[in-house]
Amino acid sequence: MNLSLISSFLIGGLLLLMLIKTNVGMVETSAESMSDQLAKQNIDAVADIISYDMRKIGYGVQNQKILSISEDAITFQSDLDNNKGVKQVTWHFDKTQSNNATQNPDDYILFRKVDGVDEPVGMGVTQFRMIYYDAANNETSDITAVARIKVKLVCQSSEPVDGQYQKTAWEKTFTPLNLHI
């Protein structure tokens, strides 16, 4: 057999293997990027709702504005819709109810309850924590002393890419104007 023919097959085979490896790498990178982007979109959607509610704490309320607080829950009153109708709002992270709609075992349900109606916000939330501060910026558990609320939120992708869930975090401290009016 001709030596140049054998070397042509070897070079062609190597080029084909390099093209396949490059293609596989691009597909993996694309899947990881898409998964990361979905996690970011999920956290943005949840953060928008949280931000709206936290700024409205106590709006239009004359009596007790915050009803209860804990590390993973808050209940407060507010005129959310600016229609003179005060509503009771609860945010609660329930680590006992896994989100069965995803493959992620760390994905739990974040609930937003308005006047007793649960609205699950199950968008890849894996961590939700609130820290409460008084006017002197000291941590507090006294609902009458709360002046600021720090919300920490972590979302992960619903499906793994190469065995890893893409993670994104969001943290914001709110100073609701209506708390001490």
* Domains of the chain, residue spans: 3-174
Q: Which residues partner with 149 through β-bridges? A: 132, 174
Rounded Cα distance between 159 and 35, Å, is: 8
Q: What is the pLDDT of residues 105-117, one digit of tens each?
A: 888 889 999 999 9
State how far the alpha carbon of 21 is from the alpha carbons of 8, 17, 25, in Å: 20, 6, 6
User: pTM of the full predicted structure?
Assistant: 0.79
Look at residues 53, 93, 94 and name the one whose alpha carbon lies nearest to residue 77: 53
Query: pLDDT for 31-46, tens place per residue?
Result: 677 767 777 777 888 8
Give the pLDDT score at 181: 59
pLDDT at 114: 95
**Mean local confidence (pLDDT), 120-125:** 79
Q: What pLDDT was estimated at residue 159?
A: 80
Three-state secondary structure call for residue 110: strand
Alpha-carbon gap, residue 9 to 58, rounded angstroms? 76
Helices (H), 56-124: none
